[in-house]
Amino acid sequence: MTVVKEIVSARDLYGEELVAPCTSFDYEDYEVIVVDDSNDETTRKLEAWRDHPKVKIIHRSCRESWKGTT
């Protein structure tokens, strides 16, 4: 199973309310892919999850073309 969550901005990451629930499934074979194309403090907040074995962070530094929220 794969969980994909786009990050709108740092406001989505208050108190680990977004990523933490996605890493506590009873099902063992899953991954959480977080797509971040922000240009604010979101990227810094996501760094706390970079080494989590179930979480993959994808940061798009170029905001052209694809937008995760559209």
Q: Tens digit of pLDDT for each residue in 15-31?
A: 467 788 888 888 889 99
Please give the pLDDT value at position 22: 84
Q: Two tokens at 25?
A: 């499934």
Q: Tens digit of pLDDT for each residue in 32-63?
A: 888 877 777 778 888 888 899 999 888 877 66
| Exposure on the CB side of residue 3, measured as CA atoms within 13 A | 18
